[in-house]
């Protein structure tokens, strides 16, 4: 079965939540995994970190990362 039309050019927007990205060793593009809470995200990072490369992306809201200002 073939698909008709143009392929998607824009990335899908991320849902609200906490994200990590996991990679196989030596691969540039990974898979994003969403968690409901920060604790769940950290637990998943430890779990996948045993046998994959993990990058913590942090919290996303309305498709954009939330950058918390540091107190100075």
- pLDDT digits (tens), the chain, 72 positions: 677 788 878 877 889 999 999 999 888 888 999 999 999 999 999 999 999 999 999 999 998 899 776 554
- Residue indicated by tokens 């824009």: 10
29 domain-assigned: yes
CA pair distance 39, 11, nearest whole angstrom: 27
10 domain-assigned: no
Tell me the residue range of the domain where 40 lies: 17-60
7 domain-assigned: no
Please enumerate in sequence order all residues whose Cβ is within 8 A of that of 53, keeping only pairs 6 or more positions apart, or say none.
Answer: 22, 23, 24, 25, 30
5 domain-assigned: no
CA pair distance 28, 17, nearest whole angstrom: 23
Nearest to 17 by CA among 37, 1, 2: 37
What pLDDT does 70 receive?
55
C-alpha neighbours within 13 Å on the C-beta side of residue 19: 16
Tally of structural domains, the chain: 1
What pLDDT does 61 receive?
93
11 domain-assigned: no
What pLDDT does 27 receive?
86
What pLDDT does 4 receive?
79
Report pTM.
0.76
């Amino acid at each position: 079965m073939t698909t008709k039309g143009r392929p998607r050019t824009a990335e899908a927007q991320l849902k609200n939540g906490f994200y990590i990205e996991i990679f196989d060793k030596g691969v540039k593009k990974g898979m994003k995994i969403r968690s409901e809470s920060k604790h769940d995200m950290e637990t998943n990072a430890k779990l996948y970190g045993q046998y994959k490369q993990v990058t913590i992306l942090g919290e996303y809201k309305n498709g954009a990362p939330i950058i918390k200002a540091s107190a100075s």
